[in-house]
Every structure is written in C-alpha cells, then in structure tokens.
Amino acid sequence: MDTFITDISELDPDKIYTYADYLTWRFEQRVELIKGKVFKMSPAPSSKHQTISTQLQGILFINLRNKPCKLFSAPFDVRLIDKKKSSKANQDVYTVVQPDICVICDKTKIDEKGGIGAPDLIVEILSPGNSKTEMKIKYALYEESGVLEYWVVYPSEHVLQQFILNQEGKYQLKETFTEDEVFKSHIFPELQISLGEVFED
C-alpha cells in the first residue's frame, strides 16, 4: 500500500527522487522533478501570463487540428527520460516537468498519466517567479532530451525567443521576435503567428 506525503516539508532536499515517489505526493504546492531534485513552481500565473498562454493555445489548436500532433497545457506532466537508460519504468524516471504549453506528435509518447519522452515543441512563458537558474536548467534539460523546438516568451518585454535543435543536438537561437513581427515555426513551417495578437492586452 502506498504511503502518501501530504506536506512538502516532509521531503528531503538532499534526496534524489523518482517519478514513483512523485506519484505519492499529495500536497498543494505544485512541483517539478528535475534529475531527481524537487523544484517548487511559481504560484498561480498572472492574468497576463494566462492571456498569452490562451492566445498561443488557440492559434496552435487551430493549426494542429488536422494533424496527428496533440496540444497540452499546464498542469500536464511530461516525464523526460535519460537517453542513456531509456527506461520508462516509474522508478527509472527522474525528471517530471510541467511546461506551459507542449506539442507531442508521436502518440506512443502519450499515456493516461501525461507525456513520456521529449515533446516536439515546448513553450515556456516567463513569470516573475522564474529564476535565471531555473531557466538555464530547463534550457539544458530540453536540449539534452531532444525537444526539437523551444519558445521562451517574455510577457513584460513582448518578446519571443525561438530555439531550434541542430544536427549536433544543441540549441541555436534562430531568432528573437518582437510584438510587431510575424513569427514562423521551424518544425511547423505553415504555422505563422502575428505576435501583436499574442501580446495584446
């Protein structure tokens, strides 16, 4: 019988946890698990954050409607697998993240608990609670996991940065877009987004 943990203070910050442990946590604080370490997530996103997220989800949903790709938004668990181990067993997964938006085109990477393996596209919308350290860790994590395209949205600056995974498996900044530009996805070339619509108040 599983023993559930109901208070985040019961977790040991020095311990390495797995997805099997994560499934036993029943506290209110949302967390992500990155390489076995617990990261507290920011409180509920601001209305600006949510507006941008909703606009992007709407545009992506319409564009992906007749494609095999599926669109998900937080809270949605994505289990990232260590390529060296490539096991899907709960006790062998040490990273569980909740991207603001992700797109998964391989249906074998979706199960009843969420996503398993690298999504094709991840979108993170920054909020005041996101630290530079957290974003550096996520960048390296998504790169290492093989996420093909990664967008980082800066709500206050009205800027979107587009990172593309190159043939060496490293991210390169393809372009930085501002609110008066039309943004074009790399892996979905027919997807064009007028950022003025995304950032409108």
pLDDT at 91: 78
**E-assigned strands of the chain?**
31-34, 37-40, 70-73, 78-80, 95-97, 101-104, 110-111, 114-116, 121-125, 149-154, 159-165, 171-178, 182-184, 192-194
Model pLDDT, residue 98: 94
Q: Express each pLDDT in 96-147 by its tens digit.
A: 999 999 999 999 999 999 999 999 999 999 987 776 777 899 999 999 999 9
Q: CA–CA separation, 73 vs 156, rounded Å?
A: 21
pLDDT at 135: 84
As a whole number of angstroms, the distance between CA 55 and CA 47 comes to: 12
Task: Enumerate the CATH 3.90.1570.10 domain ranges in the chain, comma separated.
Answer: 47-199
**What is the model's pTM?**
0.92
- The pLDDT of residue 86 is 55
pLDDT for the residue 85: 59
Task: State whether CATH 3.90.1570.10 applies to domain 47-199.
Answer: yes
CA separation for the pair 195, 151 (Å, rounded): 13
**Which residues of the chain have a pLDDT value below 50?**
none
pLDDT value at position 171? 97
List the structure tokens of 168.
Answer: 């060496």
d(C-alpha 117, C-alpha 129), whole Å: 26
pLDDT of amino acid 82: 73
